[in-house]
A and B are shown apart, each in its own frame.
Chain A
């Protein structure tokens, strides 16, 4: 219990240190402290704030690509594939608006890695899915509504 509280309090400072350490290239990657605050948020704006941004601008240069469906037959396994054309993309996050906790994943894209990721998420119900891209320190997003016929959060 105590350790968790200490970790949460540390998270803000450690994240900043982690970012600096990354820039200095300190040897093999340290697993970044898991950003509990971001994974507890209930809205797009709160999640962006918890990830260090101050607001995301909609961008047509972020695309949901095949095999992201319009209608998901099984909410437990919804494929989401995102591609970003924004220069110097640093990270891609996936958020599901109507899920109990909005942030599903945050992928870090080092230089030399394609700003592209494909994974599968659980969706509790029909919802907007957001792809939030951090590029050059600024935040952008695209949204896609995905209909869910059978909810996937285990209800």
Chain B
């Protein structure tokens, strides 16, 4: 089971400000190991963020997103106490979903 994400969601003005740090190698597939063999690509491809059943942000990524991806975005319509769920899936079919509660202003 992949390591959990660290998510911080808080109110900035009337928007929910979300910062996430995900744990993932984001291996490009271009690096070679000590024997000269290419290390297989292993990277997050899809990220979906939902709040109250609605997708408020989503992304498709390639392997050039940095290792242990960082993401910061803002959406409207959330209130303190409500939950934000973030899910990622990678090119090997691995998946991780974490949720956080929106902190008050």
Contact = CB atoms under 8 A, between A and B. Distances in A.
Given A32-B58, A153-B28, A114 B65 contact: no
Contacts of A112: 56, 75-77
A105 interface: yes
Interface residues of A, number: 39
A119 B30 contact: no
A31 B69 CA distance: 19
Contacts, number: 114
Interface string B66-81: 1101111111110000
25 contacts: A31-B87, A32-B46, A32-B58, A39-B62, A76-B67, A81-B72, A104-B62, A104-B64, A106-B59, A108-B58, A112-B77, A114-B15, A114-B75, A116-B73, A118-B70, A119-B65, A119-B71, A119-B72, A121-B66, A122-B26, A123-B64, A153-B64, A154-B28, A154-B30, A154-B31
Interface of A: 28-29, 31-32, 34-35, 38-39, 76-79, 81, 96, 99-101, 103-110, 112-114, 116-123, 152-154
